[in-house]
A and B are shown apart, each in its own frame.
Chain A
Amino acid sequence: MRSLCSSLLALLFVGCASYPVKQGLQPFDPVPSEQVNAGKSIPATSRTSVASAPTEVINPYFSDISKDYVYKAKIAAFDTSFGGLLIIKKLGPAHHRIVFTTEMGNTIFDFTFKEDDFKVNRILRKMDRKILITLLKRDFKVLIEAHPEVLETFTDQKDIVRETNILSKKHYFYFADTRLHKIVRAGDGKEKVVFLFSEVKDGLAENVRILHKTIPLTITLKSI
């Protein structure tokens, strides 16, 4: 009986466990104790990598004010799929404009993110639904947030994983050799949305994929 109770408690614990626990992430210690004990010196760079200052850029992909980020986009939602061009432009320290147009140039939606404000400049009447706008706002906010405050740092033995808070949701930034390649939005300890960045050249992610795990929605971006 006692073991059954413990198992149930354990199950309950895992069921309610946070994302890092469920993923088996370990707190990241950049200064392994055995190295300190051995009196070895640790390079300054590894010491500073554990926690980021609020201004430190941890997502560099849409942070260059001199660049026009233009992507061929494909949105597969439920059983339909449509394409267009997604244009992201940084206009100031915490100011972005995001516009989606058809290939022929007609604007489908046009959003402004400035500090904590979000403004819909334009959206096709057919798409003007609060639930859709909120979903796009959440996804794009993650793409453009260059330096969210890092709450904790973990490792899964392969990557450094930084826990952040974006629009009141926990997001985990995965770095391989200091390069950001994945962001996970977690809820109830599970992956809700995964953002993947690949083919990074000169600070530009040529391919970006946003995969929703709880609804059939995938956004694929290819730099042009």
Chain B
Amino acid sequence: MTRSEADALKTAVREQADTVETITSNFTQYKHLDFLSDAIESKGKLAFRAPDLVKWEYVTPFSYSIIFKNNTLYINDDGNKSTLDLGGNKIFTQLNQLITASIRGDLFDEKQFDISYFKEDGDSVVHFAPKDAQFAEFINAFHLTFNTSGDVIEVKMIEPSGDYTQIVFSGRKTNTPLSDAVFMQ
């Protein structure tokens, strides 16, 4: 991707992100491990409300949801509820920011990431490699795929081993009202 194409993408994504109040989407997650015959597939729903409320809800093949809210992680593991205070946990706080930013597409922080731009089948693919050594222990890079409208359609989280988790979004809806109840544990 040329420098001007990259700049145009950044602008389009930022403008898009600024207009987004809520997002709901289905997702399919594929966990790729090089030694497995098949990727481990799970499906669920995502809800986001600006500025930073996020709910990931896995529906199949297991029931599990996490909500990022007020610096706390609310976990519901098949009915077993627990919370995790993220206040003192830099990695989780950063992960939350990254998840929020990646859902909106707005990850373009050059202080935090080494960023590179690619074109694939008409879509734009941007690679974000964390500069923070502590974070890089978990994730080597995020690869975000944007469609021509600047929406994130796929997130790939690549681990230092090369194994990766691919999350493909579908049925994305923006700015439909989401009540507080959606983000209750």
A residues with a Cβ closer than 8 A to B are: 66, 68, 70, 72, 74, 81, 83, 85, 87, 89, 91, 97, 99, 101, 103-107, 110, 121-122, 124-125, 222, 224
List 28 contacting pairs A-B, 8 Å CB cutoff, sorted by A: A66-B37, A68-B40, A70-B40, A72-B78, A74-B77, A81-B80, A81-B82, A83-B64, A83-B77, A87-B36, A89-B33, A89-B36, A97-B35, A99-B33, A103-B58, A103-B66, A104-B29, A104-B56, A104-B165, A106-B138, A106-B157, A106-B159, A106-B165, A107-B159, A107-B163, A110-B161, A125-B137, A224-B62
Provide the main secondary structure of the chain A interface: strand
Q: Which residues of A contact B29 (CB under 8 A)?
A: 104-105
* Residues in chain A near residue B161, CB distance under 8 A: 107, 110, 121-122
Closest chain B residue to A125, Cβ basis: B137
Min Cβ gap B100→A in Å is 14
By beta carbon, the residue of chain B nearest A83 is B77
User: In this complex, what residue of B is CB-closest to A223?
Assistant: B61
Q: How many residues of B contact A (CB 8 A)?
A: 29
User: Are A101 and B31 touching (Cβ within 8 A)?
Assistant: yes
Check if B12 is an interface residue, CB within 8 A of chain A: no
> In this assembly, does B53 line the interface, its C-beta being within 8 Å of a C-beta of chain A?
no
Contact between B163 and A68, CB atoms less than 8 A apart: no
In the assembled complex, B139 has its CB within 8 A of some CB on chain A: yes
Q: Are A105 and B38 in contact (CB under 8 A)?
A: no
Shortest 9 CB-CB contacts between residues of A and residues of B: A105-B165, A224-B61, A105-B31, A72-B62, A83-B77, A68-B36, A103-B64, A97-B35, A89-B35
- With A106-B138, A106-B157, A125-B137 known, 9 other A-B pairs at CB within 8 A are A72-B62, A83-B77, A89-B33, A89-B35, A89-B36, A91-B35, A106-B159, A107-B163, A110-B161
- Residues of A with C-beta under 8 A to B36: 68, 87, 89
Give a binary string over B132-149; 1 marks a CB under 8 Å from any A CB, 0 the rest.
Answer: 000001110000000000
Residue of A nearest to B163 (CB): A107
List residues of chain B with CB within 8 A of the CB of A222: 62
Shortest CB-to-CB span from A55 to chain B, Å, is 24
Which residue of chain B has its CB nearest to the CB of A90?
B35
